[in-house]
Structure 1
Amino acid sequence: MKENDTKFQAKTPDFNTEAAKKIAELFSEVAPDGHIDVGALEDLLSPDLENEENNEKYEFTWRGKKEAKRIANAPTRNTTLIPVKEKSKNWDSTKNVYIEGDNLEALKLLQKAYSERIKMIYIDPPYNTGHDFVYKDNFHDSYRNYLKETGQLDEEGNANTTNKETNGRYHTDWLNMMYPRLKLGRNLLSEDGIIAVSIDEHEVANLRKIMDEIFGEINFMGQITTVNNPRGRSQDKYVATSSEYLLIYSKTVRPKGRLSVDKTAEDLGKDYQYQDEKGAYRILELRNTHRDFGKFNRPNLFYSFYVSTDGNVSLTKDNTHNIEVQPIWNDGFEGCWTWGKDKSLENLDLLVAKKNNEYWKIYRKSYADNATKQLKSSWNNKQFYTDKGQEEVSNLFNIKEKIFQAPKSVKYIKQILEMGINKDNDIILDFFSGSGTTAESVMSINKEQKTNLKYIMIQLPEKTSNDSVAYNYGYKTITDVAEERIRRAGEKIQKEHSNANIDTGFKVFKLQKSTIKQWDDNPEMFQQQLEMIHSPFTQESTNDQRALEIAIKEGIDLSTSPIVQENNYHFVTDTKEVFVILGNYSENLLDALDKERKLANATVVLKEMDSGSETKFNLIEKLKQEPGLNDHFVLEWL
């Protein structure tokens, strides 16, 4: 395996490809048998390769990048998610999910159920301030060995430098932490999905590079500068930093206007100052305002309107409409309209004429319905300041102290989410969810827009320090703070909108060791491994936990509650159906399940019973012999 990791594997090009054909035509000696000999081709071109510049290419790399890629593709490390109903709210009805645990493992567990289903990802990851990370992945090179190799530790293990910003892993550790998580996050995005990442000046350049690599430079949508601390950081060495950044990428290329958001009531009042029976509208000049276009190159867009003295518009001259208006500029330049004559005829009711000084102009009405605006690349809104986010959290907890440091404000996150969502049932994912601002923002949008957005929050249950405000109020972990914040925010929304049907609940899941025993290749453990056939689960796990792990690995999403009958679990989503049989069963099992089946195809997961394999054999034979069952069921054995 190690050799495969380091050896370059040159795959022979398909002879049917145009590139291979052209190489063979130019250099027949490198394709004697119809396949390109890459080594022979390199030898042939060696004079051209001697110049080192010919071998250079643009590449962004760092120590550990290869391992970071491997970790992103590696399976979970014997982990699962278990339900924590006592910390949840409205378990049986809610579609929102809160996960306590390392986001790397959690993201891997979500891959099958949520692949290409997440419409919007927002994350506010740890900024690289030079301190140690809580997120430490299993990289081969140990930190202390690296320090010794690079001369940053002496033989006795003492540091040769105290400045973490000058050590070789200042950026490396952060990049190794972020890369696999972004890679896994991309897998979950829908084809039209969008990801937005908050970051400060320390790593914005590097984050842009790895996101270009993971999402594609062509899918970069924008970089927004947000003022979050107008006073500036006084401890900064040269410039008092008062802003941070937001990087936005899509999974695939999106059309122009994809990030536009609905105009606010203030925007509408300012921009849409006219009113008729159809509602508020603004007027836009019909003449093309660019002099690059005119009668000289758009003759079909040069024609006459006829207007009345009260501004009514017609394409036909009569006694009432007797004032001719053409798209001619004040200096005599013959311009053109933005609509052709046929379109103008179809939409005459949208056209109005107004006299400006001695000249008449034609305008079209643009109504406020579904009015959107394109956001700018710099945001300076008091509602987006960190102080505002701090105030919101403190108010929810009815305290003046800072129970959580530097939370984002709800209005800021709402603006970000509104750029990404476009359907009623979209799912939003935040896998560095901190104090839970994203969850509150989703509920707030649902309240205001009468939508049914759902969220998945993931947060490491990092312990609060013993001298912190949170700890003194009884919150021992960050997840304790966040879950209480979400609970209080939901109660506030319900109190303010008692008649609204808003999902303010959430299901809590905790990352834990797998409930399924792991196979051990050690020959001395062979007898114990055989016992796993009839007893595949860990002794301390419950059937609820076992069924959930199986369902997750079969692709059932976490918001789905099973129908439970004794020790059998029935999971159904819009696209997938799974029966988990943890109790005893007979060869008539499939006949019984067929009566409960909701979809055309269902998977049945079951273990062998202690009584032997006869029942298993009979079930398999029954499936083979009865097309009515064989067409609808797949059996999987633990």
Structure 2
Amino acid sequence: MDDITNLESLPVEQLIEMIRAKTGAGVNLSFPGKILARQIGRRVRPRNQRTIPSHSAGDEHGRSRNFLIEGDNLQALASLYRERGQIDMILTDPPYNTGDDFRYNDKWDTDPNDPDMGEFVGSDDPAKHTKWMKFMYPRLQMMRAMLKPTGVLAICIDSRELFHLGQMLDELFGEENRLAIINWQKTAAPRSDKDGITATTEYILVYARDYSRVKTSSLERTEADNRRYGNPDSDSGGLWREGNLSARTWSENSDYAIQSPFTGELHYPAGEGSWRHPKINIKKWLEQWGSSYYEKDIADGKVKALVLRDKFSSDIAKRAFKKLIEPEWPFIWFGRDGMGRPRTKTYLERIKKGKVPVTYWADEELDVPVELGSTSWDFEESGRSSDGSSELTSIVGKGHGFTTVKPLKLMLKLIQLWTPAHGTVLDPFAGSGTTGHAVLALNHLSGSDRRFILIEQGRPERGDTYARALTADRVKRVIDGNWYNGKGQAIGGGFTFKTLEKKVDANTLLLMERDEMVDTVIASHSSTSNRRSATLITVSNENQPYSYLVAKNASNEGIFLVWSGPEANTDFTEEVYEIITEEAEAAGLTNVYHVYSRRNLIVTDDVVWYQIPDRILSDFGLDIRTESFIEEI
């Protein structure tokens, strides 16, 4: 695009993206329609929400906090504007693009408010990946905006769109904010598949709004976890279990032989690892078996080994076996019969009270720091897809039509890790309502007070509004214990059922437009070379927003915007000036005021005035071509 006029009309984000594409800076995700997909979220209009008491359930406290919203999730997210920046965790299971599991309307490329639901995208559609990405990109943008600075997004996916989803999330959240790629076992055993390798796992991509501010919690310990601990040697340190002396990472200086005082055998670190404790400490612990050790080069191509100072003999072995029948074995031991490899003790009282999520949950090392990275959960830890489907059938009965349901255990684990006890969980693709079930179950079991917001549209064109017939029904049955199989127990809680109306929510729309205008003004102010950088102000007096103050610059001078919608005053008047000076004083700012407005109707030395460009005003609904510009003073 070489036309300068056209370039000037483009948003800043689009110009930056064009520059990156031209210069080849970094790795960029590109797909047909991406530029339009980036802009869709800003053009979605919020809708009025109508409460339907007959589909709500539970106690008053639960109804005031938990919501199930029926409608398109993009419009619902826009309608939840007051929740923007307030969500602790988004936990969701979007369509996997398996064929006929999501719809796409080509009109949404230019008008996301078009009411036509579009056609189902089949597995044989040559543009299925592009359509899926155009469908997901604006939703991911809005999900990110909903999160607190400490918030986390955990999104389920399978191999079909794993890489595309990861690329979009890396771009939107930043690769540095990727917390984990969790690989969970959806089935316990592979089935015969003539097409090749059977997929037995699916994935959860976990991203932080800000990695440095996220806290990953420990999981609640169970009696089954503590059963692994005992005290066969009457250790005064209390209950302990076998620990691993080998670390998973290799270090040349910690890869050497250790000689057993029981058998004289030389032992090396397991696999490709190395010993996890300093050599001087290991030597001290070995000598507690009654014999002296020293370092010796044994010509094995590794650093000096820790071997017995005296040649191994039956006397050395007898001293070690004698110690084995006495109380309190040393920290490094060789099995209950002395014939095994060296291992350590892990004391129950010295580990964290919680169960720490580490690299592989089937073989937990509870005495190492939390570091998720690429994590694998076997089905015993996370449940299976078949478990999720069986759980749903037990609650609502057969005929629900859901064959792939996330197991409750999986959702419980994720919520425990990243949602505080009084936090909020949002699920924009609520499906059968497993996320809501998990929140209520955790509140019942642990006394927490987490809240949920579920969004589900169902397939109303088929007469299947399963936001009501399934999602709400499941959560109701969970609350009152009225399970189809008769084995449910009431766990309490409640929720309010709301449906999106076709009517636009004018008040929310005005808030959205004002915030977009603020973003535009701040970007303009910050990018001008002869002005100092601006910082958004997010705290206001008595939790009420300022009428005009939107930011301050490095000199503690306020930046003010006179715009509250196309039907309100957009001019800098004497009345506006008086309010601006009051807001500046309340915020502790200097008496130099940077004011953005459509027109300036007063003159005062302490004001630096900027006219909002006509193009911006037109974008936000003020038709400057038909408005009179005659100043009436």
Q: Is the 8 A contact 1:137 1:177 kept in 2?
A: no
Q: What is the TM-score of this pair, normalised by structure 1?
A: 0.56
Aligned equivalent of 1:83: 51
Work out the percentage of aligned pairs sharing the same amino acid. Answer: 21
Q: In the TM superposition, what are the counterparts of 1:481-560 in structure 2 within 5 Å?
A: 481-492=470-481, 504-514=493-503
Taking the aligned partners of 1:214 and 1:483, their CA distance within structure 2 comes to: 32
Deviation at 1:435, TM superposition (A): 0.4
What do residues 188-234 of structure 1 show as CA deviations (whole Å, max 9, x unaligned)?
A: 22333222211122211111111111111122233233332456687
RMSD value, Cα: 5.5
1:105 aligns with 2:75: yes
Judging changes above 3 Å, is the alpha-carbon distance between structure 1 residues 201 and 61 closer, same or farther for their aligned structure 2 residues?
Answer: same
Q: In the TM superposition, what are the counterparts of 1:418-429 in structure 2 within 5 Å?
A: 418-421=416-419, 423-429=420-426
Aligned equivalent of 1:120: 89
Taking the aligned partners of 1:288 and 1:481, their CA distance within structure 2 comes to: 48
Judging changes above 3 Å, is the alpha-carbon distance between structure 1 residues 488 and 278 closer, same or farther for their aligned structure 2 residues?
Answer: farther
Judging changes above 3 Å, is the alpha-carbon distance between structure 1 residues 440 and 222 closer, same or farther for their aligned structure 2 residues?
Answer: same
1:134 aligns with 2:103: yes
Deviation at 1:254, TM superposition (A): 5.0
Aligned equivalent of 2:413: 415
Q: Is the 8 A contact 1:351 1:365 kept in 2?
A: no
Aligned equivalent of 2:354: 370
Deviation at 1:261, TM superposition (A): 3.8
Deviation at 1:269, TM superposition (A): 1.8
Aligned equivalent of 2:305: 333
What do residues 236-289 of structure 1 show as CA deviations (whole Å, max 9, x unaligned)?
A: 744444332222222222599947644544333225667878864336589999
Taking the aligned partners of 2:435 and 2:288, their CA distance within structure 1 comes to: 55
Aligned equivalent of 1:21: none
1:253 aligns with 2:211: yes
Taking the aligned partners of 2:49 and 2:495, their CA distance within structure 1 comes to: 15
Structure 2 counterpart of 1:3, from 6, 9, 21: 6
| Equivalent position SS for 2:494 | coil
Structure 1 counterpart of 2:151, from 193, 196, 203: 193
Judging changes above 3 Å, is the alpha-carbon distance between structure 1 residues 355 and 405 closer, same or farther for their aligned structure 2 residues?
Answer: closer
Q: Is the 8 A contact 2:238 2:347 kept in 1?
A: no
Aligned equivalent of 1:452: 449
Q: Is the 8 A contact 2:151 2:214 kept in 1?
A: no
Q: In the TM superposition, what are the counterparts of 1:6-21 in structure 2 within 5 Å?
A: none
Aligned equivalent of 2:241: 282
Deviation at 1:512, TM superposition (A): 2.0
What do residues 331-388 of structure 1 show as CA deviations (whole Å, max 9, x unaligned)?
A: 77369xxxxxxxxxxxxxx995566459999856342532424153333316722221
Deviation at 1:109, TM superposition (A): 2.8
Deviates more, 1:194-203 or 1:275-284: 275-284
Judging changes above 3 Å, is the alpha-carbon distance between structure 1 residues 280 and 98 closer, same or farther for their aligned structure 2 residues?
Answer: farther
Taking the aligned partners of 2:35 and 2:242, their CA distance within structure 1 comes to: 57
Judging changes above 3 Å, is the alpha-carbon distance between structure 1 residues 327 and 121 closer, same or farther for their aligned structure 2 residues?
Answer: farther
Deviation at 1:87, TM superposition (A): 2.1
Deviation at 1:446, TM superposition (A): 2.3
Taking the aligned partners of 2:512 and 2:482, their CA distance within structure 1 comes to: 31
Deviation at 1:491, TM superposition (A): 1.7
Structure 2 residue runs without a partner (length 5+): 113-119, 257-276, 299-303, 308-327, 361-374, 516-539, 546-574, 588-633
Deviation at 1:165, TM superposition (A): 5.2
User: What is the aligned residue count?
Assistant: 454
Q: What is the TM-score of this pair, normalised by structure 2?
A: 0.57
What do residues 141-169 of structure 1 show as CA deviations (whole Å, max 9, x unaligned)?
A: 699xxxxxxxxxxxxxxxxxx99556552
Structure 1 residue runs without a partner (length 5+): 14-41, 43-51, 144-161, 310-322, 336-349, 519-545, 556-573, 580-618, 632-638
Aligned equivalent of 1:606: none
Deviates more, 1:296-305 or 1:477-486: 296-305
What do residues 438-484 of structure 1 show as CA deviations (whole Å, max 9, x unaligned)?
A: 11111222233332222111111423846xxxx6xxxx434431111
Deviates more, 1:124-133 or 1:64-73: 124-133
Task: Write the letter of the residue equivalent to 1:250.
Answer: A
What do residues 418-441 of structure 1 show as CA deviations (whole Å, max 9, x unaligned)?
A: 3323x2112111110100011111
Aligned equivalent of 2:273: none
| Equivalent position SS for 1:270 | coil
Aligned equivalent of 2:616: none
